Structure 1
Amino acid sequence: MLFKTRRDIIIFIFIFIVLKSYSFYCFTMQRVTYLILLTIFLPFLVSAQQTNVSVRVGASLTAAPDARPWLSSSGEFAFGFHPVQGDDRFLLSIWYDKIPEKTIVWYPEGGPIVSTGSNVELTSGSGLLLSDPQGRRVWTSGPVSGVAYAVMNDTGNFVIFGNDSGKIWESFNHPADTMLPTQVMERNGVVYSKMSKGNFSRGRFQLRLLQDGNLVLNTRDVASGYAYTNYYATKTNDPANESNSGEQLLFDSIGYLYILRRNGKRFDLTPKQELPFGDYYHRVTLDFDGVFTQYYHPKDPTDNSGWGTVWSYPENICLSFHGSEDSGACGFNNVCSLSHGNRPKCACPKGFSLVDPTNPYGDCKPYFFPNCQEGGPKGDALDFIELFDIDWPYADYVIMNPTSEADCKSSCLNDCFCGVAIYRGNKCWKKKLPLSNGKVDYLLGVKAFVKYPKSDINPPGNPHISRAKNNRQSLIIVGSTLLGTSVFVNLLLILAICAGMFLIYHKKIRKLDPGIETNLVRFTYKELVQATNGFKDELGKGAFGIVYKGVIRTNTVAVKKLYHMVQDGEKEFRTEVNAIARTHHKNLVQLLGFCDDGEQRLLVYEYMSNGTLASFLFGDMRPGWNPRCNIALGAAKGLSYLHEECSTQIIHCDIKPQNILLDEYYNARISDFGLAKLLSMNQSRTNTGIRGTKGYVAPEWFRNTPVTVMVDVYSFGVLLLEIISCRKSVMENESGDEYGAILTDWAWDCYQEKRLDVFVENDSEALDDVKKLRSFLMVGLWCVQEKPSLRPTMRKVIQMLEGVVEVNEPPCPFPFIM
């Protein structure tokens, strides 16, 4: 081709026009020349245009490192050969072409990897035809006839059109692991995960919209395709009213994913008001680890920002599998724990190693497999590897209850079928190999005993640990070699070590305070004066201090300046620093640092951009039902963490909407531990003065009796009723006088009279979800029971809110005044 790009053609035409203008005196000859050139170059202009918009029959691409793809008109999406697994390996795919990651969003069924020289061609009889360098067919989009052209759309959809301009085939109807805005899944539609991060063949996990309208996540047998029991479901099937069942899964152009019911109503998967503001790409992907996630990415990133997460389901995949079908989130004998961003992390426990060392999510093989054959090790020839906080909860063949730990071990030791014994709370479960649904759970107090022969003097451990040790030994050898190469290098290393020790020493001086057990950043008062611009931008006031907005480096923060003239302020400072520094949960506000210059006491928190729950609930506009439900569940999870998962139990003592903050995605974040009383794990009660806020204080505060975590459960119950009704617990006028019904009384009356519509003031979204509405109201009434012993734990509250356990009819919360 004479001209390789449209730019070459445009430059030529520009030069020609200049010459044309310059040669005005030869008008007739110029006109003839112009027409000739236009006739010659018109096909090239059309061809250049087709490179970015349409693809003609016979057009092809060849796999090579510098191969050009077929682009959409905006250039945002590309169709072609994407390099994977090295320079000579390619995947036919569609990807985002304007972002550095070049994220793949579609590939053919099976994810075939091809080598350099492979070819894809748009044919008239087979549509897209992928062949290897020897010309052998690898994949085709399917037998078709009358193909006219194809288009790579700006939506990310590659479409083949027929002679009648009708669609013959489109990638949106054959998804891989991702859906894009404007894409629709009909009933019986399926999305498959990848096998692993670098293996694009179909993996173990599926997203399916079932015929009955229920959207589910499930694992499957890869060889046969058999679908196992789901580990997540939207429950959008309604056998009693089929018109209320799901019909389609839609991902709209704005970025909201929802299920459209047959009656036209919708079930939102993307909570309202959770999408980031601005110009972003959106996608939902069933990742290879089984987590279904919505991602966003700025279209014009100004920094190195990558894909952010809007939401992911399920929230904890390690705890989502129930039953003995399949292996769980990880492979057989493997153990699942939750890591950053709700992602599962799989690891073989001691006594096991990976079947496939390249796949940490796969099966783990035991170093010793018990058997009942003659000559095998038995009884005294065997011993146990003891594992803590690891459980495989299903497929036990013997349960001993009650029993002792010693009897549990002895029974398994002398049982040739027993490979592992689980012991917890005077109960023993004997299990055969392989084990399924392994998970780490620090709350159960469980022990696992893995059998191994004593002839193995040192029972094998996790291979990852061995590799780490080898790496350290290699590092020592390499380091020694380098140190011995020259005196000059030695001097440089000594200087570098001295400089590093100096920096570390000064960093420690900055971070540590002998009076406070924490590694938080310690700021000077001067630094925080500068960060807050002289404490000018006030965010709010509390009983013990004022909160100001500030900026440290490029990060926006909230700086709480404590009142230092009262003794309780000093106590609050120590309490908050020691308590919050040891906590970390996505539904808690994170403490970033502190200041204790002289009499100044300040705390530095991460900034919550959407303010308090009080502003959200009681503003001019009534917030949506689904965001309110998500906030309630998030607050419950944060409170459960404080009660049951901290190394030192924490009673918050002042749960109210003003102390629930909302981050940029409207996630609930509990703040203000200033009234928290810390309890050691063997202590369940504390005596203290009345603490809390009017309308949220549990009755036992007024009885001068020991209080427990149940005071927080009561306060949460009031909070939940406020979230449901968008009404304050206690209504006050400007002078502070109360008026109207107390919320807890009103909630009970509405529940008794079956007037939920009155309680939510005819909130149509809530009434459309009346089953959840009634369930949430019942949970709230259980939480505000006057007798603490009747209130559920926060863990039970979470289970009831999520629909995992049934909510029973609550009694009257205040029987003593009836």
Structure 2
Amino acid sequence: MAAKPLHLLFYSTLVMLVSLQFQASSAQTNITSRFPLLAAAGAGWSSPSGRFSFGFYATDGGLAIGVWLATAPNITVTWTANRNNTPDTGGSLRLTYDGRLIWIGASIQDRPVAVPPRPAVSGAMLDDGNFVLYGADASVVWSTFASPTDTLLAGQDLVPGAQLFSSVSDTNRATGKYRLTNQQNDANLVLYPVGTSNVADAAYWSTVTFQIGFLLTLRLDASGVLYQANSNGSFTSNLTRSGSAKAGAEAYYRLTLDPDGVLRLYHHAFVSGGASKASVQWSTPSDRCLVKGVCGLNSYCVLDHDGQPSCLCPPGFGFLDATNTALGCTVNSSAGECRGGQQDAASFSMAPTLNMSWVNAAYEVMGAGTSAADCQAACLSDCFCAAVLRDANDGTCTKQQLPLRYGRVGGAYTLSVKTGGAANPASGGGGSGRDTRNKPVGVGRATTIALVCIGILACVALSAFIASARLLRVKRRHVALANADAGEGLEEETAPLRSYTYQELERATHCFRDPLGRGAFGTVFKGALRDGEKAIAVKRLEKLVEDGEREFQREVRAIGRTSHRNLVRLLGFCHEGANRLLVYEFMSNGSVADLLFKGGAPAWPDRLGIALDVARGLHYLHDELDSRVIHCDVKPQNILMDAAGTAKIADFGLAKLLQPDQTRTFTGVRGTRGYLAPEWYRGAGPVTVKADVYSYGVVLLEIVTCRRSMEMEEAGEERTLMELVYECLLRGEVTRAMSSDEVVDAAAVERAVKVGIWCVQGEPESRPSIKSVILMLEGHLEVPFPPPPAS
């Protein structure tokens, strides 16, 4: 055979070396910067046994990076990197020369997977399922075991203060609805829904080790024993027994908090040929309706014949989304109006459901031995009561506000919900979501006659109301015109806005020479029309073109045709080429923020008047317009004072205009930190006018105390202004929360504080309407003692 030329021999040798190096890298257990991993489903660095891999796996929408056990037919993911990131494609995973592990060249952007405190020089996938990075001294500088996601593997610890979070689903590894917390303050291992505080009402399982006296670590050993132990091993508490493994089989155990909120210990057995079989060795809780949060607010859980949970609505409620009943229920009947602190009981009824379990978040308790009739009657006459829970064991009756939480069939409570209309426990259930086991078989003839009579009377009353409203509206227009003729500056409600040219407003503001302030979208300048006869404020929208256009449209649509005394009047606009300018009446006394936080705040009676002015402006937006308006950014900086000392709401650039038949909306987060209602930032369902009520509550507490809502947080304190005020309320010392020593009417201040705390409740249904706020502040409506504010 002829000898190969020297250059061909060199080439063949080089190809062989590269091929060998590539083959070695595919099962590499000593990963360095020389061995990148190309992004592809199933591409990974394997452990020596081949059972575990670290790399790319397929998920909904693309690829993700994680650790998996090579089970069949599908892999079992045990850890996920950056689990809440959007799945991606392309690029490669590599250890960089500066010691970071990064997904480089992904289609969206480069993604750090691990940034160790010290640079890593190599990594390895170990046989126990732990992927580690090593520093130059061969010590571990980063590992997946140190930051678990939803799973613990044998040899992995859940240390005090650490948590497991469930995934959204088996194919979506983002953070789900439940968490397992190893509480650092009391050594208790507890299951909670995500988004709740570590309180007993939210817990649905625990190890009851809160009185042990020292901290415990949760551990899983290779034989399947799940146990808690203290730091020196002198105390252990087993949660499970040792698993059973067949001779000659490899066994792997994992503890996973599954998407349904159940904590399960799995056993994976591998037999010859690589086949595997999974089984559940232990789980808790056994009843899936015990998982709090399996059904949303105002709904309750019942198990079907297969042990699967279903969600139902109490009478008077309907599903938020009939296609996704787990989202919860909302009221579909009116709770009526309050008059003098009481309600017309004859217009409403109580619909009971027996043998229930709910979280008892009572705001008022009636003693043991209360009859069912007295319990229901107490709720019917109380404006704030939405439902009552009566304990069948001792007759204790408790009044409840909405929302109702964590309901399920099976328990000692009878839930009675206040519903509109004549007494009929079966009317107004949640449609297909209503539990029909307590439904009466029919409606009596007398009840039918009563309903017909009530309907006729209601029609007559409605006709009279419409006629009166029309007469009142005509009268208001005449009054408005008369006021305008008298020089009071008010215009007829339907008067059109004036369109100005840019040159007119440039002259009116002397080339925008006198700025009054700057906001998120632009700058406000002082100006004058008609040779200085009428002072104006001109907002020049300067941010992005599309943002300026959106604010322009919102301002014009939301308040462009109103003349309410507690709203800053929008006089006109300029919409010319790239120019977007809005013309308002000029407020000569600045903002409420200037009055409250810059020294020399008005006396308490004047501040209470400001609070009422703001509430009346919101009442107009929420209840008196044909289409409701949610302001979305109520704060002292957006409340301006005119020369007469009247507070007026301004800046509708973030406002949301609802359709005439619309009471709630889904929309992105908008507003200002410190005043945002919780439902904005947690994305919990639709947003209503109650978001403005929350912001108003914060402003009201600021008006009472003359303190900024964020000043305590900015000073490094752990409690908020709301929590400070509530603590003072509990002690009966509300005036101690005020920033000055002024002499005040303590009873009036306490009333305003209680109203403010009601407004800043965490759930929208617990907050009063702005109309009720006005009645309470004016003393026409009794103010019950509020529960703690939103944290």
TM-score range, shorter chain: 0.3 to 0.5
* Superposition TM-score, scaled by structure 2 size: 0.46
Normalised TM-score (structure 1): 0.45
